[in-house]
Amino acid sequence: MYPESKIEKEKDKSEPFKDIDLEGKYTRSSLYKDAWRRLKKNKLAMLGLGIVILLILVAIFAGLIAPYDPIIRVKEESSLSPSRAHIFGTDLLGRDIFSRVIYGSRISIAVGVVAVGISVAIGLFLGALSGYFGNVSDAVIMRIADIFFAFPYVLGAIAIMTVLGPGIVNIFIAIGILGWASFARLFRSSILSIKNKEYIEAARALGAGNYRIIMKHIFPNAMAPIIVYGTMNVGAAIIVEAALSFLGLGVQPPTPAWGKMLSESLDYIDIAPWMMLFPGLAIVITVLGFVLLGDGLRDAFDPRMK
């Protein structure tokens, strides 16, 4: 037998003892603390996190960062190349491209967060019905999800926008409706792997109802893959919004949107390439940031990485 003092010293040196509760199980908060520790060691993931935070700050403080009004036209300054006065140059109508790129970040962030939020809400609700209750509801919901999977994402968004008409609210609806199936199937698979665990049976034996079991026991334990997939899906939503704006089905002028800026500069790429370069770079960097962060979160939440 080891002396008690030696055992205590070994416990102090061992990392897992810090996050173990009285029943010998990891607390819920330790999952996220452990994931954060691993995420901080991933340099690419932290780069992605930095890009996302910077983009959010730019969107919030666009009015303070942008040197010019993104809508005001100055004919005398049309099609100016990048200079000290206009670091990204100006477009055909004399509007400052840097200011329009800054304000365009608001549209991208809004679409990414709101549209994906709608997809997550619908997907979690239907996924819970499908995975927890099963039987007829499972068959019906999964067959409807298969129908949504059969349509290409961008083509489906174009079809919905053609019916609803252009506008930022309709973009939220189109992308949100099209994205729920993936979240529903992901949440369903998590529920199927969790709902027969011992602690679920114990909660049911203690009289917990279905709503309490789903919200208090299943949902927190199934959140890791939802967070990862949701983060990566934000980048996809931004690309779809840019494609819709490029085709004239998204945000309408004079509101600045990166996809619309690309569309307006397409015919002048030979004589004014900066008009397309900077909005295109904004889209690439933004999507790259969310992809790097999502990839890092996937590794951080993966139990096999412990």
What structural domains and CATH numbers belong to the chain?
Answer: 48-66+90-305 (1.10.3720.10)
Asked if residue 180 lies in contact with residue 119, where contact means CB atoms within 8 angstroms, the answer is yes
Structure tokens at 269: 């790429």
- Percent share of the chain, pLDDT over 70: 88
Q: How far is CA 72 from CA 34, 58, 107, in A?
A: 50, 20, 19
User: Which pLDDT value is given to residue 65?
Assistant: 93
Q: What is the pLDDT of residues 239-272, one digit of tens each?
A: 999 989 888 888 888 889 999 899 888 888 888 8
Q: How far apart are CA 295 and CA 288, in angstroms?
A: 10
Judged against a pLDDT cut of 60, whether residue 23 lies above it is answered with: no
Structure tokens at 78: 């049309």
DSSP character string of the chain: ---HHHHHHHHHH-GGGGGB-TTSSB-HHHHHHHHHHHHHH-HHHHHHHHHHHHHHHHHHTHHHH-SS-SS---GGGTTPPS-SSSTT-B-TT--BHHHHHHHHHHHHHHIIIIIHHHHHHHHHHHHHIIIII-HHHHHHHHHHHHHHHHS-HHHHHHHHHHHH-SSHHHHHHHHHHHHHHHHHHHHHHHHHHHTTSHHHHHHHHTT--HHHHIIIIIHHHTHHHHHHHHHHHHHHHHHHHHHHHHTTSSSPTTS--HHHHHHHHGGGTTT-THHHHHHHHHHHHHHHHHHHHHHHHHHHH-GGG-
Q: N- to C-terminal Cα distance for the chain?
A: 30
Beta bridge partners of 26: 20
Q: How far is CA 260 from CA 62, 104, 177, 246, in A?
A: 18, 10, 23, 5
Map tokens 């979690």 to a residue.
124
Q: What is the pLDDT of residues 108-156, one digit of tens each?
A: 999 999 999 999 999 999 998 888 887 888 899 999 999 988 888 888 8
Asked if residue 80 lies in contact with residue 90, where contact means CB atoms within 8 angstroms, the answer is yes
User: Which pLDDT value is given to residue 29?
Assistant: 55
Of residues 103 and 195, more confidence is placed in 103
pLDDT interval class at 18 (50, 70, 90):
very low
Hey, how many other C-beta atoms are within 10 angstroms of the C-beta on 297?
25
Model pTM greater than 0.75? Answer: yes
Q: How many CA atoms lie within 13 A of 122 on its CB side?
A: 19
pLDDT interval class at 31 (50, 70, 90):
low
User: Which pLDDT value is given to residue 301?
Assistant: 79
pLDDT interval class at 27 (50, 70, 90):
very low
